[in-house]
């Protein structure tokens, strides 16, 4: 599969998915679009086979309500062709599900792997993985010498997914992606002196993105906000966890620590600093009427609890609890911030 075709298909699918269409409809829309663009277009049967390859490679997955392009694959699609970020993003897609690639699993689950080992095995490993997936990278193959800087990034990505339950999106890739969104902004940013969330990998974030603060102009953040929303749709299976509404135009990508309070670009783009909520529950959460414990239990403020039928009025189920898979250590840090600074108790 040619990379230009792969990226184009993924970009189209990424645009379609926000509409909430199912997998079969996506094939129909993709077929119609490719037919309009060129006289040489694949059949529906070929498109279906291509999408199965993309799913098999870990770049997309089927959901209960349709399908979803993975966040690392979205970055792979959006970044410049033949760039380091493009290669690292595809590598992260593969690392995020090592069970698809036995050789990678063997390496990731070692107790440790040093730079020399990685340098020796990475070129053939990448070639082997992308051959199995019937995809390819622009940079590495059996003959290409991989620069030490790339090795370091690959090693960091491997460590991120080392236990087989890594992040939804590689923090390394996310930092590189933010560099492309804000390549050379000279404007003075705000919140440069505010404390940054104490991520366990904060040192790595600040090494890759040393600039603190966020832009004063919210318009500068449109690309960041678009990616953030896409990622939360992916993580929350396109529905509000409280009331189960799954109409795309009714869902809001809600920051736990508000954008205005963020002290570093990484915070407002990080899916761990977010919940996908319907418009009603987004308002209640944003204004501090509801929050969540570290165990995901729903908290309701005293003002709402005074109303005897608040559970029915505001659709707040008693004893509601977020699914455990959503309660990452990073998201707990942001929920602690929300309870301290936003929740009205």
For 74-86, what is each residue's pLDDT tens digit? 999 998 887 888 8
Q: pLDDT band at residue 125, thresholds of 50, 70 and 90?
A: low
The mean of the pLDDT values for the chain is 84
280 or 64, which is more confident: 280
Least confident span in 100-114, 199-213, 229-243: 100-114
**Contact call for residues 322 and 242 (beta carbons, < 8 A):** no
Q: Note whether 122 and 173 are within 8 A (CB).
A: no
Please report the sign of the dihedral spanned by the C-alpha atoms of residue 6, residue 9, residue 15, residue 16.
negative
Structure confidence at residue 138 (pLDDT): 46
CA distance readout (Å), 59 to 1, 56, 82, 139, 322: 14, 8, 18, 18, 26
Taken in order 325, 26, 13, 153, the sign of the CA dihedral is: positive
pLDDT in tens, 320-345: 999 999 999 999 999 999 999 999 98
* Counts for the chain of helices (H) and strands (E), in that order: 16, 6
Give the CA count within 13 Å in the CB-facing half-sphere of 218: 7
Q: What is the pLDDT of residues 141-193, one digit of tens each?
A: 444 455 666 777 777 887 787 766 678 898 999 999 999 988 876 678 999 99
**Interatomic CA distance for residues 335 and 316, integer angstroms:** 18
């Amino acid at each position: 599969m040619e990379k230009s075709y792969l990226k184009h298909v993924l970009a189209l699918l990424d645009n379609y998915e926000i509409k909430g269409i199912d997998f079969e409809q996506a094939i129909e829309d993709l077929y119609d679009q490719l037919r309009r663009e060129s006289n040489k277009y694949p059949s529906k049967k070929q498109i279906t086979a291509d999408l199965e390859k993309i799913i098999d490679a870990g770049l997309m997955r089927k959901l209960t309500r349709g399908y979803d392009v993975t966040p690392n694959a979205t970055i792979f699609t959006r970044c410049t062709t033949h760039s380091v970020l493009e290669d690292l993003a595809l590598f992260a897609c593969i690392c995020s599900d090592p069970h698809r690639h036995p050789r990678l699993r063997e390496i990731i689950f070692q107790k440790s792997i040093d730079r020399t080992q990685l340098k020796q095995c990475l070129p053939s490993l990448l070639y082997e993985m992308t051959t199995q997936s019937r995809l390819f990278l622009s940079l590495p193959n059996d003959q290409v010498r991989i620069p030490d800087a790339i090795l370091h990034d690959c090693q960091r990505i491997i460590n991120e997914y080392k236990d087989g339950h890594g992040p939804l999106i590689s923090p390394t890739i996310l930092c590189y992606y933010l560099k492309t969104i804000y390549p050379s902004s000279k404007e003075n940013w705000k919140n440069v002196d505010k404390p940054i969330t104490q991520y366990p990998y904060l040192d790595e974030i600040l090494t890759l993105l040393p600039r603190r603060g966020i832009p004063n102009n919210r318009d500068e953040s449109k690309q960041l906000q678009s990616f953030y929303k896409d990622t939360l749709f992916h993580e929350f299976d396109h529905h509000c966890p409280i009331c189960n509404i799954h109409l795309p135009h009714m869902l809001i990508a809600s920051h736990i620590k508000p954008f205005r309070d963020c002290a570093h670009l990484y915070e407002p783009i990080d899916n761990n600093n977010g919940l996908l909520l319907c418009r009603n529950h987004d308002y209640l959460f944003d204004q501090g009427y509801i929050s969540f414990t570290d165990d995901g239990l729903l908290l309701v403020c005293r003002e709402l609890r005074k109303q005897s039928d608040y559970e029915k009025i505001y659709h707040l189920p008693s004893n509601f609890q977020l699914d455990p898979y959503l309660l990452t250590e990073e998201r707990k840090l942001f929920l602690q911030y929300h309870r301290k600074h936003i929740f009205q108790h």
